[in-house]
Structure 1
């Protein structure tokens, strides 16, 4: 009797309509945590409170890591701006807390950055460094400059021209004499200008394809190319006059302290074997010989073609022609004597 009544009640529940209340909240889950409380203080077991701010070198290293490793172009640009402000706010004779050589190696890959503002801030920062700290790292900088010169982006290529101008201002001797600095850089310029060469050993074609542009862009490329050639084949430095009363010059030079960290790098005593492209051309005569053997015919032919176009590119080509003529004049006279 009791069981039948109980079954009827259970069946009746299935057909009863539940009354819903307006504004009734949903059922809270089992893992719900009430955070409506208010606390006057929060105590952390392990914490370090210090009234002293991080030192300037630590701050510079922090922003240097952001500039070189952040994925956000805004953060990279702001970090470079902070470094610029710190260096410009220092006294004139104050030393930079971080070695310029370390900064250049860390930041030079940003020459290929896709953001225009990042590259602009990078070039501003580079121009604040003293020239004395950069003469031994021209090879590393030229690797990224050459990659930027032949980049598909015209803006990156233009900024790489500005970077090469800066490098020629602070370390032009190292730029033209470092391993691959002379041969490979000229090769990149001819590739950028679309000036083909007939030297089959270089593996170049005779196509007229060019990474460069016409007008002002081409004129800028020719002017920077002229600056590079002038640094390599034009002797602007007068010869040192020795006083014969102080002894023979060779005797004094044998006991002089070298001014570079690796004065015998051109001998390549412990490095891998070098070919003609990666060789170090330390003197003007060797650079003139390489230029005449591999590049001079293509450069002169390209100059004549651009001169016919006139305009700004034609004027820049005239400047380049003068540099080639003046730079190779001494080498031609030596060849005639021999």
Structure 2
């Protein structure tokens, strides 16, 4: 009985209001933290002051170090050359600054990095977010303009990228249907057809780089190929047998890489690309262009660019 009455008295203490005397403050709780102090100085570790402005190399190195930053408040500093994962960044400002930066890079710096950029671009083209898909298509347009030959001839650059285009446009073959079952929606602006117009325009640029007539050559004689003035008689066309100046001249052999299937293969010549295109993509793209032309308006005008490339490619034939 004694213990029970003791517990009752302890519980009653919790509900009793303490009597405060005049001029005395309430007792502070046990977990009270004093925050009334004020700091009179701020110390920054590793701070350095220079009379001269930092060099461009140091600024560039600093920007590279910020690539892993998760803050969206500094998008301009997070961008750097060939920052491939930023293509899929959820922040619109980051992707916008990335596109602006990529457009300032010299072309010879882009050609050797096409194979690393393309997988991220294809992932962006089939992304769930509509704005990321639009950004990926825009970046692909820039890369085709800067290094079109490398884009269409790198591993997976031809078939896999075409499958992405078909998935975005809803022009499915049996293979491209694995990427997406329905036509990709471009959000609110998609109802006006503007993103689809952009996709059709980039598709025309991509097809022109892969099977366009500019790859067919001008039927020049061996003496006019630019090598005869360099190599004296009796050497002829020797430059064509020299090792390429690219960073990976034997990449097409895939000596140390994973085995490639037909989709991941390199199609370095126009003849090979036209053969694959005519067998797997020509009918479905022709049907899609016809459907887009029937819609009229901007879609119809954009489809005419694709149709023009197809007609020129067919007229020149596979062996052109």
TM interval, shorter chain, is 0.7 to 0.9
Where in structure 2 are there 5+ consecutive unaligned residues?
Answer: 1-17
Mapped partners of 2:38, 2:198: distance in 1: 68
C-alpha distance in 2, partners of 1:37/1:163?
51
**2:159–2:264 Cα contact (<8 Å) kept:** yes
- 1:211 pairs, out of 153, 174, 184, with 184
Matched residue of 1:137: which SS?
helix
2:240 aligned partner: 253
Going from structure 1 to structure 2, the CA distance change for 1:72 and 1:36 (only over 3 Å counts) comes to closer
Q: Indicate the SS of the match to 1:69.
A: coil
Task: Answer whether contact 2:197 2:302 (CA < 8 A) is retained.
Answer: yes
Change in Cα spacing, 1:246 to 1:208, as seen in structure 2 (3 Å) is: same
**Kept after mapping to 2: 8 A contact 1:176/1:281:** yes
**Scaled by the length of structure 2, what TM-score is found?**
0.77
Determine if contact 1:233/1:287 at 8 Å carries over to the other structure: yes
Q: Give the one of 205, 221, 231 matched to 2:199.
A: 221
Q: Is 2:211 aligned against 1:233? A: yes
Q: 1: CA distance between counterparts of 2:248 and 2:161?
A: 22
CA distance in 2, matches of 1:268, 1:196: 30
- Name the CA distance, whole Å, in 2 between partners of 1:49 and 1:161: 43
Give the count of matched residue pairs.
Answer: 286
Whether the aligned pair in 2 keeps the contact of 1:195 and 1:208 (CA below 8 Å) is no
Distance 1:18 1:234, change over 3 A: closer
Give how far 1:38 is off. Answer: 9.0
Q: Distance in 1 between matches of 2:32 and 2:297?
A: 77
> Of 267, 287, 302, which residue of structure 1 is paired with 2:288?
302
1:65 and 2:65 are equivalent in the alignment: yes
- CA gap 1:314/1:35 in 2 versus in 1, 3 angstroms: closer
Given that 1:233 and 1:328 are in contact with CA atoms closer than 8 Å, whether structure 2 keeps it comes out as: no
The structural deviation recorded for 1:24 is 2.5
Shift of 1:313: 0.3
- CA-to-partner distance for each residue in 1:145-180, whole Å, 9 max, x for gaps? 111111222211111111011101211111000000
How many angstroms apart in 1 are the aligned matches of 2:38 and 2:140?
63
User: Once the 2 structures are TM-superposed, how far is the Cα of residue 219 of structure 1 from its aligned partner?
Assistant: 1.4
**Matches for 1:270-309 after TM superposition, within 5 Å:** 270-309=256-295
Partners of 1:179 and 1:278 within 8 A in 2: yes
* Residue ranges of structure 1 left out of the alignment (5+ in a row): 1-16, 84-102
Shift of 1:285: 0.2
Q: Distance between the aligned counterparts of 2:31 and 2:290, measured in 1?
A: 84
**Distance of aligned partners of 1:118 and 1:21 in 2 relative to their CA distance in 1, 3 Å threshold:** same
Structure 1 counterpart SS, 2:90: coil
Q: Give 1:79's aligned residue.
A: 77
Provide the residue aligned with 1:132 in structure 2.
108
- Which of the residues 250, 267, 284 maps onto 2:253? 267
Q: Which residue of structure 2 aligns with residue 121 of structure 1?
A: 97
CA deviation string 1:222-247 (max 9, x = no partner) = 11100000000014254562449744
8 Å contact kept, 1:306–1:313: yes
Q: Is 1:185–2:161 an aligned residue pair?
A: yes
1:104 paired to 2:81: yes
Q: Displacement of 1:277 after TM fit?
A: 0.3
Query: What SS does the corresponding residue of 1:136 show, helix, strand or coil?
Result: helix
Structure 2 distance, partners of 1:264, 1:220, is 35
Q: In 1, distance between residues paired with 2:31 and 2:130? A: 60
**1:141 aligned partner:** 117
2:164/2:176 contact within 8 Å kept: no
The C-alpha deviation readout for 1:96-146, integer Å capped at 9, x for no partner, is xxxxxxx434x2211111111111111111111111111011111111111
Q: Which has the higher helix share?
A: 1
Equivalent pair of 1:113/1:119 in contact (CA under 8 Å): yes
